[in-house]
Amino acid sequence: MITFSQKKVSKIFDTTSKEINIDTAGLDNIIIENSDSKFVEVFLFAESYDEQLIKIENINNNVNIKFEFEGTETREVIFRKFITKRLQRANAVVKVPKDISVYIFGENVDVTAKSFENKVSIYIDNGIVKLNKIKAKTLVKLYSGNVYASIKKTNIDVVSDKGTIQIDTITYQKKLQKYFKENSSELSIRSIKANIFLTTQ
């Protein structure tokens, strides 16, 4: 019988950079939220590898965050890779001070923003994106998956060529735009096949 115990590593650091890039390679899920302090806090939870590392790089006054995994994979993960690629059993939480823009890049990854107050841009191939309440300029570009967000007097510009666009109980096809004056919150979504579910509550 094989048992798993979740492993956790973390890094906390201060930065003067106004932009943070997050490479989600190796992750199944990532959560971004605002920090209660002036520090960037990064937590990595993984159970499929002997060691996991958080890599922080400063290039041209931008902070790059990456995740690396070392050691032997469990036999279950090796076997299940034949079924799906998204079985790293690795999740990350990144807490960011206000006024720092965040850029997230990845392939197959789920992204949750906990009513994030910073400008955020998400570029992934496929995944479930939960934005909660839109409070700042938010951009999402993905090929397929589902996007969920709560909007209230939010400027929206949404396109999904083959997916469903829904606000509350009303369904739209391909494109939806709504603009409010004097509003800093903005949601822009571009997708080929993603389903987009927006609520005004």
Task: Record the tokens describing residue 114, joined without a space.
Answer: 């906990």
Whole-model pTM: value is: 0.86
Local structure of 136: helix, strand or coil: coil
Local structure of 190: helix, strand or coil: strand
Reported as a single tens digit per residue, the pLDDT across 14-70 is: 999 999 999 999 899 999 999 999 999 999 987 755 556 899 998 888 899 999 876
Question: What pLDDT does 88 receive?
Answer: 55
Q: Is-contact 87 69, C-beta < 8 A?
A: no
Pairing state between β 40-46 and 90-96: antiparallel
Give the DSSP letter string of 34-61: E-SSSSEEEEEEE-SSSEEEEEEEEETT
Reported as a single tens digit per residue, the pLDDT across 3-19 is: 334 578 899 999 999 99
